[in-house]
Amino acid sequence: MSQRIVRGCAALGIVLALAGCTATGTPSSQSASTAAGSDDPVRSSAPPVASATPSATSPAPAPTTAAFDRSKHSLDDPSSIWVVVDKQRPLQPKSWVPPDLVTPAVPHTNVPQLRKVAADALVRMFAGAEQDGIRLVSLSAYRSYATQSSIFDRNLATLGRAKTLQLTARPGYSEHQTGLADDLGDGSSCDLQVCFESHPAAKWLLANSWRYGWILRYPLGDTAVTGIQTEPWHFRYIGKSAAKEMHATGVKTLEQFFDLPDSPDY
C-alpha cells in the first residue's frame, strides 16, 4: 500500500473508522463478513473493543422456562407411554396386547412382564431402593384381557359388585393391560393392602418413584377422580419427564394432569 493511503487513513481516522478502514487499508472484519454474506465473523488481528459495562441498576434478563408439552404423546393410543386408561377411557381395542413385553429381573411373587421401557426403569428403581436399604417386590404387572376377566368375575362372586368396582377394573379398562403398570410391595402381610401405605417401602416409592418415571396411580383422597380407591401399591410408568412435571406441580392423578374428565364410574 502506498504511503499516501496510509497517511490518508491516519489523517482521517474518525471518518475511515466509520467507513471500515483498518491500519492495513482493508475493510474491517465486520464489514468483510457482511460483504461475504457469512454468519461467522472473520477473525481480525486488531484488538477487540471493550464493551460498555452495564449499569448496576439494569434489570437482569428474566430466565425463560419452556412450558411442559402435554401433546408430546397420545393419551388414546394404547402403545403410548401416556395412554390414560380409566372407567371412561377403555383401551382401543379392548383386547390390545403390548408388542414388546419383557421380563424384568427383579424380586417377584408372580413372574412380571412389562413393556421394555417400563421394565428397564423398574430395574433401575429396584436398584435405587436397594441402595437406600429398601426391599421391593413385584406382585402383579402385565395382565391380559383374559386374565383381567377372570379376576373381575372372581371378585364379583366373592366381594359383590360395589366392592369389586372399587377395587378391580373391568377387562379392557385396566392399566395392567397396557404393560406399563405394576403392583409393588415389600413381601410382607400388607402386600396389596392399604396398610402397606405405612411401610418404609411405600414411603420410599412415594418420595422417589418419579425419579425413575413411575407414579402412584391411585392416591388417597382421589377416588372421585380415578374411580379406584386408594392403592398405595399400584404404580404406573409414564416416563421421567412427565413424572418429574407431576412431582414439581403437585398434581396427583393423570386425569388432572392431562385435564381429562373425572372417572368415578363406567
| Residues forming the active site | 231
41 φ/ψ sector (left φ>0, alpha ψ -120 to 50, else beta):
beta
Report which residue type is found at 173: Y
**Rounded Cα distance, 95 and 171, in Å:** 8
DSSP 133: T
Cα distances (Å, whole numbers) of residue 114 to 20, 95, 229: 67, 16, 24
Strand, coil or helix: 85 = coil
Angle, helices 116-131 vs 200-208, to 10°: value is 120
Residues 139/110, Cβ–Cβ less than 8 Å? yes
Q: Tell me which long-range contacts 215-224 makes (C-beta under 8 A, separation of at least 24).
A: 215/243, 215/246, 215/254, 216/252, 217/175, 217/181, 217/253, 217/254, 219/252, 219/253, 222/252, 222/253, 223/166, 223/264, 224/262, 224/264
Residues 34/27, Cβ–Cβ less than 8 Å? no
Q: In what order do the strands lie in the sheet with 231-237?
A: 137-140, 181-185, 231-237, 214-218
Measured from the Cβ of residue 165, the count of other Cβ atoms closer than 10 Å reads: 20
